Structure 1
Amino acid sequence: MSLFKLSKELVLLILEELEPVSLLRFCQASHLIHSVAASCTALRYRYELALCGMRDGPPSNRSPRVRLEQLLNYKRGWPTLAWSSEDRLRITPPTILGVTGRFLYQASENTLPNGLFQWTLQIYELRSFRSALADPLRHCRFNIPFDIRQVAIDPSQDLMVLAELYFPTNNSAITARLHFLNLWTCHQHHRAAQLRFQFHTDWWGALPPGQRILIQQVVICGSVVGLSVRLEVEEGEATTELVLVNWHTSGPRTRRYSGDLLSFDIINESCLVVVSHPDDEDDEDGSGESVVTTWEKRPDGLYMNERGKRPPQINVYDINDAHDPPTPRIRSYELPESWSTVSLMRISPNSSPRVNAEPTPGAFFYSDPSQRLLVISAEFPPEATPPGCSRNIALVLDESFLQPPGPGEEIVRWNQWRSRCMIFNLPDRAEGLQAVGRRLVFFENVAEPGHSTVDSSSRVHMLDLNPYAVDFLQSIVRSPSPWRWNGPWTTITTVVPRRSTRYIRTSTVEAYNITWIDATEDSIILYNECEGQTSIRILTFGPDPRTMIRSHT
């Protein structure tokens, strides 16, 4: 019997058994199915989840009607950057700031009465209207007895990782340390095999002038924590050491990678992706010229000998503990030959949940981890920009495309996989590129060099790469902007074709310079350094659910 001959009640029972994506496809294939789903709040909610690339949150006492209304408001807020709540902070430097795992952190060094120094770490929980609110938002302050270089937080595990660099007084190895702490107590995490993991770098003693070491990245993915330490040479390139450690066992399965590694991310506990320049010293181009950068270690430091470059690569490693480290399991994705001139290349962070992460308790809905994008930003010198490219570009592909490799080494040529990614030309002054699920957020400072701060201005851009949302986005092509920062804001929203994919682009212009930007599933965070202070604005999307619940009672 045809589905369309069944009663509406039976059709509803069948549709209730479908997961959101299948329900969406049924609705797209039939106006009848769409009308039936639209008449049922629970089905409409699941349909909108798939349309927005979201998943339903853990069970709670919130009705489908409240969740649906909250989802629709969240869905309208992002494309026009129409925030509904604003929080402000003003911080005096020197300090390190950032956003990780839905928290804003601030770490600063203070002088004690005895003349010694101590670091203070403060973490601020960011507002989210996708869940039942904690009132007030949590704020913690900890005294830390070492220099904090990086902070990474995974709230699904109540884990906070603090990274420091230790410079010995004798001629021994410079050491990077990771501290595995409980997010709320700052004591050793109960699942950590030990409080601290030490990574001895290949660099010793005091660094000569013109060289510096920094902790570049700390990434948490389940039981795996990745750390990259970078040595930079003045007026030259840099070399990076990357180590992975299982913080539950702390050591037996530690992995270490060295070379000119530019950036990395951990897709899941079995899959590591690294953007790097090949460093095979024996490889040459067709002219016989060496195409690698080598490093010479001398008593007074590490020196670079550059003899040309090959194009960068995206390398995917199998880091499954079941495989011994000597077993080669690498898949390399080649990039265009013309990209050999790239001066900077990195993986831009994606703040939506990873596949292995537990959803936030009380969340109504959250980004579908299977829909996450991997975003790689690249920058070219003005005099060596490849044809058809701007100075700043973004290479975007579905994270699910990168699977752990099989045994051995495999090379995938550019013409074999170029159709699986998209390349976007960004403004020449684009900065701070980040991903939130399937959205890209970045800003550009548009003032000409030499102009005063009063004359400067910035633009915040958002690209929405969710293919299901185009029809809805076209209905809000032009919307008034609610943004203010001591001056007028203008929001322009357009739907732009790109190959077979159509995306939304929103540009917001304000009157003062933006120094940096962070983005989460719920908020855009703007930083403005001016007159010895850093002003922070936290702009959150979606209405307060408590107001909505009161309106329904």
Structure 2
Amino acid sequence: MDPKAPCLEVQTCPMTSLPVEILLGILSLLDGKTIVRGFSVCRLWRETIESSTELKYIIELWADGLVSGPACGLSPVQKLEKLYKWRRAWQNLEWTSQTVFPIDGNPRAYELVGGVFAQQNTWPQSDFNVIRLPSVDISAQISRTENIGIQSLDFAMDPTQDLVVFLHKYPDEIGNFDCRTLSTLAPHPLASSPRLSFDLRDENFRRIFLQVADDIVGLLFRTSGESAAPSLRLVLFNWRTGTALVDLAGPQFPPSVSDFALLSPHAYILGCINDSSYHRGRARGMGEIHIYTFDRAHAAHPSHVATLQLPQLHPGRCLERIVAHSGPFCARPIQGTLFSKANDKRICVISLAYDRSEFYTVYVHHRYFEKYLTNDGAPLTIPWDEWGPQHSRMLPGRHLFWLRYVHGERVACPIDPIHPNRVEVLDFGITPSRPGFDLTSVAGPNTISSGGKRVLFKNDVTTSLPYRRISRYLDDHHVLFLIDQDRLIGVNDAVNELMVYAF
């Protein structure tokens, strides 16, 4: 806030007669954005805010897109110092410790949420391994369950709710979600029914997309059955109440759906190639993101609120696949941490695979998707030129099949074959007013040309969503990196190890 900006005189402020202690108490109940606006109310408010470490801490949490966790007995000065130290560490990739953990090779599924890394194996039995990862203030904890009692096909979890949901078939014509506690694998006490079942209709699971967002468990899967051609099916449940909310199949989807992602407990997106015509067995189209809302309490048909179009392609070129990936949605602050990333401060990574082996990635803030959730009329169609250049960033390159390479507004980049010992992080949480922030490090707009021999896009594609690229060279080589709030995790599947770099 500019201290020279005009403000009202103290005499015109109706709260100037309050003792400073009471004014501080009132302001401390506000969020950081509102407190910043308080600078312009009057001189008394500005001086009160500037002199309060507690209010400064609230403002700085807001600037980093964080929500406060337990106070842990720390003073406002100590909390602010820890926040500044955490921020500097990420700005420079200066971790404080490195720890190696063995992992199983070729797991059936894995997850990284809320400081917990978990693996599930299916051979020779259904094992489930959990590592509560170390941080600056927390020691690691490892647990192993050799047989969870079901043949799980996939799982999703939220450690902030002590929740893990296993997907399995039993008997073959029934699909099941088993809702258990992550700590003991006992039936979850908040689930009205620990097992949620749905009829598979003579179908088999093929490709599975399983996610959890607060009280919602969502599953998109490709089906194959003896009596029907492969198609799609989407199932959404409220796992706490046991209510089946959504069950869509086949013709109820837009053409050529490629991916599904829960935005929140009341919205999801579908990545679509957007054209039902085929050439040489491949769908043609430029790609679209379809945004839907749904009722989290009662069964109802989802509402299609908007479609965001991707860049138009040159004639003869086609999009083969679109995959959307965001950091996990945590229902509560992460246990044992002073602060946690707010769910509305997340970046969505949209990976695009075009023909002739060309790959691009589009980065979009969740808040841009969420601006359409209040639309209660006909679905809006937004051409790329009306949203992409300002609200996204498109960069060349692709991400590997291991997920959880994005958390909040940070993205761990794939390993560069030319520099295999370098780690790179893209940070889209840009708030230039932060102390020590280097504005010159923020990337300017970039353009992908429509010319050249391998013409892909019909027009030049220019995008300008601000971000910082941070890199550091390592002594160790990894095949990929995962990321969460307080850690970078180097994966080396050749020796079945995780290297945890804690901030």
Same-fold call, TM > 0.5? yes
Q: Report how far residue 222 of structure 1 moved.
A: 2.0
Which letter maps to 2:262?
A: I
Partner of 1:369: 343
> Which residues in structure 2 correspond to 1:525-544 (within 5 Å)?
525-530=489-494, 533-541=495-503
Are residues 1:461 and 2:424 paired? yes
Are residues 1:155 and 2:159 paired? yes
Alignment deviations for residues 304-323 of structure 1 (CA, whole Å, 9 cap, x no partner): 98474233221122211567
Question: Comparing 520-529 with 92-101, which one deviates more in the overlay?
Answer: 92-101
Partner of 2:324: 347
Quick one: distance in 2 between partners of 1:141 and 1:368?
32
Q: Report how far residue 343 of structure 1 moved.
A: 2.5
Alignment deviations for residues 362-381 of structure 1 (CA, whole Å, 9 cap, x no partner): 53222233322333222323
Partner of 2:242: 250
Quick one: distance in 2 between partners of 1:32 and 1:152?
50
Length-normalised TM-score, structure 2? 0.78
Unaligned runs of 5+ in 1: 111-116, 206-212, 233-237, 280-290, 294-303, 386-390, 448-455, 478-493, 542-553
Contact 1:182–1:188 under 8 Å retained in 2:
yes
Quick one: distance in 2 between partners of 1:341 and 1:305?
11
The 1:4–1:392 alpha-carbon spacing in structure 2 relative to 1, beyond 3 Å, is farther
The 1:307–1:44 alpha-carbon spacing in structure 2 relative to 1, beyond 3 Å, is closer
Q: Report how far residue 250 of structure 1 moved.
A: 3.0
Alignment deviations for residues 368-427 of structure 1 (CA, whole Å, 9 cap, x no partner): 3332233322232346x5xxxxx3222313333341542554433334433552123144
Partner of 1:23: 35
Contact 2:392–2:464 under 8 Å retained in 1:
no
Quick one: distance in 2 between partners of 1:461 and 1:152?
27
Length-normalised TM-score, structure 1? 0.71
The 1:429–1:160 alpha-carbon spacing in structure 2 relative to 1, beyond 3 Å, is closer
Which letter maps to 1:332?
A: T
Alignment deviations for residues 438-471 of structure 1 (CA, whole Å, 9 cap, x no partner): 2222222314xxxxxxxx7253221222231476
Contact 2:412–2:483 under 8 Å retained in 1:
yes
Of 240, 251, 262, 1:266 maps to 262
Q: Report how far residue 40 of structure 1 moved.
A: 3.3
Partner of 2:227: none
The 1:11–1:425 alpha-carbon spacing in structure 2 relative to 1, beyond 3 Å, is farther
Secondary structure at the residue paired with 2:327?
A: coil
> Which residues in structure 2 correspond to 1:130-209 (within 5 Å)?
133=138, 137=141, 139-164=143-168, 168=172, 176-201=175-200, 204=203
Contact 2:65–2:341 under 8 Å retained in 1:
yes
The 1:37–1:382 alpha-carbon spacing in structure 2 relative to 1, beyond 3 Å, is farther
Quick one: distance in 1 between partners of 2:211 and 2:151?
19
Of 359, 368, 376, 2:333 maps to 359
Quick one: distance in 2 between partners of 1:82 and 1:167?
51
Are residues 1:496 and 2:443 paired? yes
Contact 2:308–2:381 under 8 Å retained in 1:
yes
The 1:360–1:529 alpha-carbon spacing in structure 2 relative to 1, beyond 3 Å, is closer
Of 328, 339, 360, 1:392 maps to 360
Partner of 1:50: 62
Quick one: distance in 1 between partners of 2:209 and 2:36?
38
Quick one: distance in 1 between partners of 2:487 and 2:153?
24
Secondary structure at the residue paired with 2:344?
A: helix
Unaligned runs of 5+ in 2: 1-7, 225-229, 446-462
The 1:344–1:30 alpha-carbon spacing in structure 2 relative to 1, beyond 3 Å, is farther
Alignment deviations for residues 19-53 of structure 1 (CA, whole Å, 9 cap, x no partner): 31233455699999888655432233223222322
Of 419, 422, 425, 2:395 maps to 425
Quick one: distance in 2 between partners of 1:23 and 1:470?
14
Quick one: distance in 2 between partners of 1:314 and 1:502?
21
Which letter maps to 1:379?
A: A
Q: Report how far residue 189 of structure 1 moved.
A: 1.3
> Which residues in structure 2 correspond to 1:77-92 (within 5 Å)?
77-92=89-104
Alignment deviations for residues 212-268 of structure 1 (CA, whole Å, 9 cap, x no partner): x54532211122101122369xxxxx8543211222343543432445432222222
* Paired positions, count: 460
Contact 2:10–2:42 under 8 Å retained in 1:
no
Quick one: distance in 1 between partners of 2:116 and 2:87?
22
Are residues 1:335 and 2:320 paired? no
Q: Report how far residue 123 of structure 1 moved.
A: 0.7
Secondary structure at the residue paired with 2:84?
A: helix
Partner of 1:311: 286
Quick one: distance in 1 between partners of 2:439 and 2:263?
34
Quick one: distance in 1 between partners of 2:246 and 2:151?
24
Secondary structure at the residue paired with 1:46?
A: helix
Are residues 1:443 and 2:414 paired? yes
Q: Report how far residue 99 of structure 1 moved.
A: 1.6
The 1:265–1:521 alpha-carbon spacing in structure 2 relative to 1, beyond 3 Å, is same
Partner of 2:80: 68
Contact 1:457–1:510 under 8 Å retained in 2:
no
Partner of 2:457: none
The 1:39–1:496 alpha-carbon spacing in structure 2 relative to 1, beyond 3 Å, is same
Quick one: distance in 1 between partners of 2:64 and 2:41?
18
Contact 1:317–1:405 under 8 Å retained in 2:
no
Are residues 1:292 and 2:281 paired? no
Which letter maps to 2:76?
A: P
Secondary structure at the residue paired with 1:105?
A: strand
Which letter maps to 1:392?
A: Y
Which letter maps to 2:486?
A: D
Contact 2:489–2:499 under 8 Å retained in 1:
yes
Secondary structure at the residue paired with 1:49?
A: helix
Contact 2:292–2:302 under 8 Å retained in 1:
no
Which letter maps to 2:319?
A: V
Of 129, 134, 142, 1:127 maps to 134
Quick one: distance in 2 between partners of 1:327 and 1:48?
37
Q: Report how far residue 92 of structure 1 moved.
A: 4.5
Secondary structure at the residue paired with 1:45?
A: helix
Quick one: distance in 2 between partners of 1:430 and 1:439?
16
Are residues 1:275 and 2:288 paired? no
Quick one: distance in 1 between partners of 2:41 and 2:352?
40
Quick one: distance in 1 between partners of 2:144 and 2:125?
17
> Which residues in structure 2 correspond to 1:103-114 (within 5 Å)?
103-109=116-122
Contact 2:103–2:497 under 8 Å retained in 1:
yes
**% of aligned pairs identical?**
20
Contact 1:163–1:178 under 8 Å retained in 2:
yes
Are residues 1:401 and 2:371 paired? yes
